[in-house]
Amino acid sequence: MGRAFEYRRASKEARWDKMSKLFPKLGKAITVAAKEGGTDPEMNPKLRTAIATAKAQNMPKDNIDAAIKRANGKDSSDIKTIFYDGKAAHGVQIVVETATDNPTRTVANVKAIFSKNGGEMLPSGSLNFMFSRKAVFEVAKPNRDIEELELELIDAGLSDLEEGDDSLVIYGDYTSFGTLNEGIEQAGLEIKKGSLQFIPNSTVSLDEAALGELERLLDKLEDDDDVQAVYTNIE
């Protein structure tokens, strides 16, 4: 993703945290992970990573424990992960990840957000060939040789690594999430975020004016309570 887009996303996350929007979404991610793979973090790498992501955002331990407990409750039995596809101006493609106990409500909300903010919803699966499902981990940058670390993690499933000023972003195939998670932990790296994401196979480059046009649509999607993540092909 380009610097302008990443800056916008970082600012958005800061606003989420301030407005108590982020914790419910992190909690739902923990509940879904626990429901899918069990409530024991030691046996469930997806849950371990969801917890690590929540802790990195300063989510209180009581909130984390409550989210795990909800996985055994009646309410969690109806939560489903559903993806919706859409498009917007300037060739922008959008995949919306939701976790919902009421798909009828969620699809109506997502469709309305697209139509009211310059976008258009597409049939589910329309963008499957435009994105690749990847395991993505952001970790604190370690004080060690990065090339050596990269070689070490290849055996665990690493396919690509991006180096930032104070963090590393590690990519692998979605089927390697568990082994890559374990490899990162064994390497002693501090996980800031970790999830399965849709990564665009090709991107579009937008100027600030075009990004501004899309701001409202992306913000409205991200603000919806059922939306967990929004992926685009913006560079």
Q: What is the pLDDT of residues 157-214, one digit of tens each?
A: 999 999 988 999 999 999 999 999 999 999 999 999 999 999 999 999 999 899 888 9
Spatial CB neighbours of 145, under 8 Å, sequence gap ≥ 6 = none
Report the alpha-carbon distance of residue 223 to residue 137 in Å, rounded: 23
Per-residue model confidence (pLDDT) at position 1: 40
- Burial classification of residue 148, based on how many CB atoms lie within 10 Å of its CB (0-12 exposed, 13-18 middle, 19 or more buried): exposed
Residues 43 and 84 in one domain: no
* Sign of the torsion angle spanned by Cα atoms 1, 83, 195, 76: positive
Per-residue model confidence (pLDDT) at position 4: 45
Does 97 fall in a domain? yes
Angle at CA of residue 197, ends 180 and 142, nearest 5°: 45
Model confidence at 8: pLDDT above 90: no
**Domain count across the chain:** 3
Q: Which domain holds residue 43?
A: 14-71
Model confidence at 78: pLDDT above 90: no
Distance of CA 36 to the CA centre of its chain: 17
CATH of residue 109's domain is: 3.30.70.980
- H helices of the chain, in order, are 3-18, 22-37, 45-56, 61-69, 103-116, 146-154, 177-186, 208-223
Residues 194 and 213 in one domain: no
Per-residue model confidence (pLDDT) at position 20: 62
CATH of residue 57's domain is: 1.10.10.200
Does 4 fall in a domain? no
Report the alpha-carbon distance of residue 107 to residue 111 in Å, rounded: 6
Per-residue model confidence (pLDDT) at position 3: 43
Residue 35 corresponds to which amino acid? Answer: K
Does 3 fall in a domain? no
Q: What is the pLDDT of residues 95-154, one digit of tens each?
A: 999 999 899 999 999 999 999 999 999 999 999 999 999 999 999 999 999 999 999 999
Task: Return the biggest CA–CA distance within the chain.
Answer: 50
* Closest among 71, 58, 62, 66 to 14, alpha carbons compared: 58
Angle at CA of residue 88, ends 84 and 92, nearest 5°: 90
Residues 167 and 57 in one domain: no
Does 28 fall in a domain? yes
Q: What is the pLDDT of residues 20-63, one digit of tens each?
A: 678 899 999 999 999 989 999 999 999 999 999 999 888 999 99
Least-confidence region, from 22-31, 76-85, 131-140, 222-231: 76-85
Report the alpha-carbon distance of residue 80 to residue 226 in Å, rounded: 10
Residues 145 and 163 in one domain: yes
